[in-house]
Amino acid sequence: MSAPPLGYYVPAVLFFQDNEEIDVDAYKAHILRLANGGVTGILVQGSNGEAQHLSHDERKQAIKLARDTLDEHGFQNVLVIAGTGAQSTRETKKLCTDAKEAGASHVLVLTPSTWAPQMSVENILRFHREAADASPLPYMIYNFPVVTAGIDLDSDTIAALAEHPNIVGTKLSCGNIGKLHRLTSRFSPSEFAVFAGKSEFFAHGLLSGSAGTIAALVNVVPKVHGHLYKLYLEGKIKEAMDLQGKLGHADWGAQKIGGVGGVKAIVSKNFGYGGTTVRGPLKAVSTDSLQNNKYYAALEEVIALEKSL
């Protein structure tokens, strides 16, 4: 089982119609803009894809739509990674099987958190190993304490899981650059790929040996992330870090504007497709509210750069 290649990936938002049904046209337009922006792969049903708000059938549909849309437009080389985390080992195994049937190449799995007090290191290791044993696709660990009731896997736990033959990487949305560096100094990215989980430490992760990033802000400015990655590969570190500063402010701004709802509103306002509907209990963000939001200026700066590239 192989790790995903180095690069920059996007946990794609999933657009809905006003009645909360999947907006197929807007979603396909988004997938194509991301692919044209040069992304290495698309994560379907990361935290930005509202996975926990979807039925099993909808989850399969979203994966298949992404894969089919890419294939139909000549982007066969763009990977589709599927978020397959669930609150039981049994359901997680089922979602991993569904992901393969729908066309994904890898799965990314959150640690269950309904019974957070019972999630000892022993239980966490057992969960991921059992799910990875059963997964027909290469398996990645998704560490995001914000959406797992504060459960934060340390580098020892992740390193222990990395020894499993079917566990090939991790997305670190915890923002801990020390943890990332401890893992990258122990494993090569070809055997265990370590991705920064936020744009705000994309360049810092690259300098520490990461495989790249899987980050929400790529939904808004994929080409800007590609430009930073190119600067890094060319050894233009000062220019890369200067651009990283702009991405850091924009990433913080998107979080403060409203997370998933904010990303949808920003994309809808600036790129001509998609609505602002989210499934409750998330809250929609009005496009009209953006201009008066003090955090929006940082987004406007990187969006202007995106449109110039």
E strand or H helix that includes residue 171: strand 167-172
CATH no. for residue 176?
Answer: 3.20.20.70
Query: Is 94 annotated in the active site?
Result: no
Given a cut of 90, whether residue 265 has pLDDT beyond it is yes
pLDDT at position 156 is 98
Catalytic one of 60, 93, 171, 264: 171
Residue 91: other Cβ atoms inside 10 A:
15
Judged against a pLDDT cut of 90, whether residue 232 lies above it is answered with yes
Residue 244: inside a domain: no
Q: Which domain holds residue 42?
A: 7-236
Would you say residue 246 lies in a domain?
no
| Rounded to 5°, angle at Cα 248 from 147 and 173 | 25
- Model pLDDT for residues 103-144, shown as the tens digit of each residue: 999 999 999 999 999 999 999 999 999 999 999 999 999 999
116 lies in a domain? Answer: yes
Q: Does 212 reside within a domain? A: yes
C-alpha distances in Å from residue 138, one per residue of 32, 106, 212: 25, 5, 18
Q: Is residue 304 part of a domain?
A: no
Q: Do 111 and 153 touch, CB atoms closer than 8 A?
A: yes
d(CA 138, CA 85): 14
- Please give the tally of structural domains in the chain: 1
Task: Give me the mean pLDDT over the 48-72 stretch.
Answer: 97
pLDDT at 276: 98
Catalytic residue among 9, 27, 142, 229: 142
H-helix or E-strand containing 139?
Answer: strand 139-143
- Would the CA dihedral through 180, 181, 185, 189 be positive or negative? positive
Whether 8 is catalytic is no
Burial annotation 127-140 (CB, 10 A radius, 16+ → b, else e): bbbebbebbebbbb
The answer as to whether 83 is a domain residue is: yes
Q: Is the pTM of this model over 0.85?
A: yes
Position 307 in a domain? no
Which residue is it, tokens 């690069």? 7
- List binding-site positions: 214
User: Which positions make up the binding site for pyruvate?
Assistant: 214
274 within domain boundaries = no
- Asked whether the predicted pLDDT for residue 1 surpasses 80, the reply is no
The CB density around residue 175, as the number of other CB atoms within 10 Å, is 16
The amino acid occupying position 72 is: E
